[in-house]
């Protein structure tokens, strides 16, 4: 049984902590006025920060490998310009495999070294009066790119979606047995599944057949809240740009 990811049009700090925090995910369509909206495009990053050295990680979508194995097997240090060119179909031989297999995943270097970019974000305004200190992580991926099935163990995890369209599937913590958690987790405040949720092998992971996802789309101007411990997998429909605002306390 598939459930729709709730969408809300208004949000207060009181409502967030009373109704949603550590309970249920939602999409809040309320960040359209952020300076990053409409500004943060692949062309913007190519032209303004093209020389910046960025780490891109490969995810081959191999059903024999878990998410944590996928994203730790291969990575490259390239210029941001070279990566954006790859997304547009231009590869000078720097990369192996198609653009959908390469992504900027959970990168903190660019935002950490370019504070003017952080000023384009407004995570502090999402929960007025709540004194949180957010760590920011950049995600850029091509059409078809996947972030594999995992769960984050953090206090508050907000994902601001700025460019393109993503589809996300979420599974509540009560379904952890069905996720076939890797025994070496937690790693980096996360749990990692052995299941390729888009092409599950039911002989190896029969309980995943019973998994009950909550599914929704993310469009520019959407803010997604993911409660701690909720498993999720994300696919980019086209070239996408998103930023996490993560508060650990």
3-state secondary structure 200-217: CCCCCCHHHHHCCCEEEE
Give pLDDT, residue 60.
73
Q: What 3 state SS string does 36-68 have?
A: CCCCCCHHHHHHHHCCCEEEEEECCCCCCCCHH
Angle (CA) 16-121-219 rounded to 5° is 70
- CA distances in angstroms from 31 to 1, 35, 58, 190, listed in the order given: 31, 9, 30, 27
Q: Confirm if 179 and 149 have CB atoms less than 8 A apart.
A: yes
Q: Can you list the domains of the chain with their CATH numbers?
A: 3-247 (2.60.120.650)
Listed as ranges, residues in the chain with pLDDT below 50 are: none
**Predicted local confidence at residue 93, as pLDDT:** 85
Sheet holding 240-247, edge to edge: 7-8, 26-28, 223-225, 156-163, 240-247, 135-141, 102-107, 53-58, 75-79
pLDDT attached to residue 199: 84
């Amino acid at each position: 049984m598939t459930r729709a990811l709730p969408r809300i049009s208004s949000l207060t700090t009181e409502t967030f902590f009373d109704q949603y925090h550590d309970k249920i995910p939602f999409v809040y369509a309320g960040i359209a006025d952020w300076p990053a909206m409409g500004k943060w495009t692949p062309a913007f990053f190519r032209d303004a920060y093209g020389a910046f050295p960025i780490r891109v990680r490969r995810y081959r979508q191999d059903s024999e490998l878990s998410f944590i194995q996928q994203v730790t097997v291969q990575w490259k240090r390239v210029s941001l310009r070279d990566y954006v060119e790859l997304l547009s179909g231009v590869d000078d031989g720097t990369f192996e495999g198609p653009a959908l297999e390469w992504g900027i995943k959970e990168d903190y270097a660019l935002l950490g070294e370019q504070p003017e970019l952080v000023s384009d974000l407004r995570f502090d305004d999402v929960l007025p009066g709540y004194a949180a200190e957010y760590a920011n992580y950049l995600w850029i991926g091509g059409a078809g790119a996947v972030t594999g099935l995992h769960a984050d163990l953090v206090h508050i995890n907000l994902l601001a979606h700025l460019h393109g369209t993503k589809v996300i599937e979420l599974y509540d913590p009560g379904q952890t047995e069905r996720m076939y958690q890797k025994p070496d987790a937690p790693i980096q405040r996360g749990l990692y599944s052995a299941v390729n949720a888009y092409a599950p092998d039911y002989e190896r992971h029969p309980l995943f057949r019973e998994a009950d996802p909550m599914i929704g789309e993310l469009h520019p101007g959407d803010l997604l809240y993911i409660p701690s411990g909720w498993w999720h997998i994300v696919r980019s429909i086209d070239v996408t740009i998103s930023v996490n605002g993560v508060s650990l306390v």
